[in-house]
Amino acid sequence: MMECPDVAPVEEETLFTNLDIFLFSLIVGLLIYWFLSRKRTEETIPEFKRLTPVVTPQRETSFIEKMKKTNRNMVVFYGSQTGTAEEFSGRLSKDAQRYGMRGMSADPEEYDMSELPRLAEIDNSLAVFCMATYGEGDPTDNAQDFYDWMQENDEDLKGVNFAVFGLGNKTYEHFNAMGKYTDKRLEELGGKRIYDLGMGDDDGNLEEDFVSWKEQFWPAVCEHFGVEATGDDTSIRQYELVVPTDINMNKVYTGEMGRLKSFETQKPPFDAKNPYLATVAVNRQLNQSGDRHLMHLELDISGSKIRYDSGDHVAVYPVNDVSIVNRIGQILDADLDTVISLNNLDEESNKKHPFPCPTTYRTALTHYLDITNPPRTNVLFELSQYATDPKDQDTLRKMASASPEGKVGIPDGPRTSTSRPPVASSVYPTMVSICAVVVEFQTSTGRTFKGVATNWLKNKVVVTDNGHKATVPMYVRKSQFRLPFKASNPVVMIGPGTGIAPFMGFLQERGWMKEQGKDVGETILYFGCRRRNEDFLYQQELEEFEKAGVLTQLNVAFSRDQEGKVYVQHLLKKNKEHLWKLIHTDNAHLYICGDARNMARDVQNTFYDIAEEVGGLTHTQAVAYIKKLMTKGRYSLDVWS
């Protein structure tokens, strides 16, 4: 019998060790803590009320509804680029109450012009259009949509009474084109013309043309609607002067065109109401001698996101001469730093102030008002009511009328000068250039007149005495003055004096195309000036373009370097055979820039002669031929008077 060996007793194993129990307790504790804390968080979450979105009231775009609400029966629309048509519109709407009408002035850009047929819903209603023509027969910026509407729609305007006054310049090829088209088109659509089209000529006396038309227009209105003039010849106040006693100076305009503090915090896009403060990078005199000052400026637009093409226009906002502003303050014994606001008495008007308010007298006279041109007749009439001497009052009233007697007292004065086109080239996208001649001359009364914009630009030094860089408020306006789409098309440019400005941009662009290996057609320039050693603008640059082959032919007419005067049209006639071949056979594009009154007209007559002499056309055929080139965009003008 075998004996079993001794075996030690075996202990029973437990289900959980101490570590397991600890870990289990920890997990359970964490779960309980999470559950309780989540419950407390849910309980403390505030209950938010649903927010009702704030809707900003939109500007009334229905001029019909506005007229009905305010009991108006006459609306005066304006197509205005420089403010003259807008001013005429305001004067007509203000005068309306003297003739049994209630008027309102309106910007067609701010209203839905497709509602025009609804004007017939208002008894004895009338629409007047003060339409300026811009450039070569184009509508102004604010009338572009209305122009498109007239072209594209055939609405029935039966029952709509209308009248049109156009603002133009006879030195331009398309004199008063916008006024003529508006008058004709409204009649075609069934509207009833209650008075003849008025056509103001800025080359003559635009103000006198308007006053003469207005004096016949109102009797026609009275006759048509069977109303009578009130006979009240006193002034109708449009704005009320308010001098605030407690004003936050941070809310006062200091020269901005639209948004307050827009010059301190610049925000694109930049346009007429929001100009860009461009730094002056270059300001140099172009002419070597002579009694004139011709200048070239370059404005730095880096970071502005402004885009432009060769031939576009640059518009600048100059300021008035500080010495004249101070002199006005002295004469009127006024504190020019007083803060004021001119408020429209017509509370329903979209235009609450004539210029940005509140502001100071100094800022208004410096930035917003034209203080150097002779006052318009309506201003003279207003002033007559404040004259204490009966003789002065009578004289001012006569000067305010259209009578020949009254015009004797008004000296000829300068008109606002037209902006010169820039040397604008897309080759240099961060720089835009201006070429201009400084306007300064003696008036018939012995007073020295200085052009506001050109003298202001002349004094824009690159770096000021305190080390700051000079700036210019500006924006770019698109132009139809464009190089041909095909670089191979020949180009003939005619630009005497500062008319050369856009062609410097054209040459830069053609040069860049040539560098890219493109087939660039003949590029010919006809430039004119007084003397080679005096005012041959951009001589060095032009000769370099010619040397590089960018400028195929450089023709310069020096009008006073010889006994008989020579102008660009004489050089055109010299090269008539070659020019006719380029135009008639090679599809050349012609560009004319500069003086509208004489040069552009003489050049056009020269092309008529070339078409007759070389092309064998009759004069009638030659005129039609050039007109056809214009229609096709092969004869482009950018001219001023």
Per-residue DSSP letters for 42-72? HHH---PPPPPPPPPPPPP--HHHHHHHTT-
The DSSP-derived string for 74-132 is EEEEEE-SSSHHHHHHHHHHHHGGGGT--EEEE-GGGS-GGGGGGGGGSTT-EEEEEEE
Task: State residue 582's pLDDT score.
Answer: 98
Q: Which secondary-structure segment (H or E) carries 178?
A: helix 177-188
133: pLDDT confidence band, cut at 50, 70 and 90? very high
Peptide bond into 358 cis (omega under 30): yes
Residue 307, SS3 per DSSP: coil
Whether the per-residue pLDDT at 420 is higher than 50: the answer is: no
Torsions phi, psi for 173 (to 5 deg): -60, -40
Bridging pattern class, strands 448-450 and 471-477: unpaired
Q: What mean pLDDT comes out for the span 599-604?
A: 95
Task: State residue 407's pLDDT score.
Answer: 59
Read off the pLDDT of residues 486-531 as tens digits, 9 standing for 90 and up.
999 999 999 999 999 999 999 999 999 999 999 999 999 999 999 9
What is the chain's mean pLDDT, rounded? Answer: 87
Task: State residue 418's pLDDT score.
Answer: 34
The tokens of 486 are what? 């095909």
Specify whether the backbone of 327 is left (phi greater than 0), alpha (psi in -120 to 50) or beta.
Answer: alpha
What b/e sequence results for 83-92 when a residue is b if at least 16 CB atoms lie within 10 Å of its CB, and e otherwise? ebbbbbbbbb
Whether the per-residue pLDDT at 401 is higher than 70: the answer is: yes
Whether the per-residue pLDDT at 328 is higher than 70: the answer is: yes
Whether the per-residue pLDDT at 300 is higher than 60: the answer is: yes
Task: State residue 10's pLDDT score.
Answer: 37
Which of 290, 305, 564 minimizes the C-alpha distance to 429?
305
Whether the CB-CB separation of 325 and 452 falls below 8 Å is answered with no
Using CA atoms, how far apart are residues 358 and 244, in angstroms rounded to an integer? Answer: 9
pTM metric for this prediction: 0.81
**Strand ordering across the sheet containing 339-344:** 239-242, 339-344, 359-360
Peptide bond into 269 cis (omega under 30): yes
Maximum CA extent, the chain? 164
In the chain the first and final C-alpha atoms are separated, in Å, by 145
The DSSP-derived string for 278-300 is EEEEEEEE--SSSS--EEEEEEE
Read off the pLDDT of residues 228-268 as tens digits, 9 standing for 90 and up.
887 666 667 788 999 998 889 999 999 999 999 999 999 99
Whether the per-residue pLDDT at 422 is higher than 50: the answer is: no
Task: Tell me the one-letter amino acid at 128.
Answer: V
Whether the per-residue pLDDT at 213 is higher than 70: the answer is: yes
Using CA atoms, how far apart are residues 372 and 494, in angstroms rounded to an integer? Answer: 33
Measure Cα distances from 217 to 99, 128, 178, 207, 239 in Å: 11, 11, 19, 15, 25
Which of 237, 244, 243 minimizes the C-alpha distance to 345?
237
Task: Tell me the one-letter amino acid at 606.
Answer: T
Lowest mean pLDDT: which of 195-199, 375-379, 433-437? Answer: 375-379
Task: For the chain, give the number of residues.
Answer: 641
The DSSP-derived string for 19-36 is HHHHHHHHHHHHHHHHHH
Q: What mean pLDDT comes out for the span 113-140?
A: 94
Read off the pLDDT of residues 345-378 as tens digits, 9 standing for 90 and up.
888 788 899 999 999 999 999 999 999 888 888 8
Task: State residue 425's pLDDT score.
Answer: 54
Using CA atoms, how far apart are residues 526 and 496, in angstroms rounded to an integer? Answer: 7
Beta bridge partners of 344: 239
**What are the helix (H) ranges across 345-479?**
361-363, 377-384, 390-400, 404-407, 452-458
- Higher-confidence residue: 437 or 400? 437
Read off the pLDDT of residues 539-596 as tens digits, 9 standing for 90 and up.
999 999 999 999 999 999 999 999 889 999 999 999 999 999 999 999 999 999 999 8
Task: State residue 284's pLDDT score.
Answer: 94
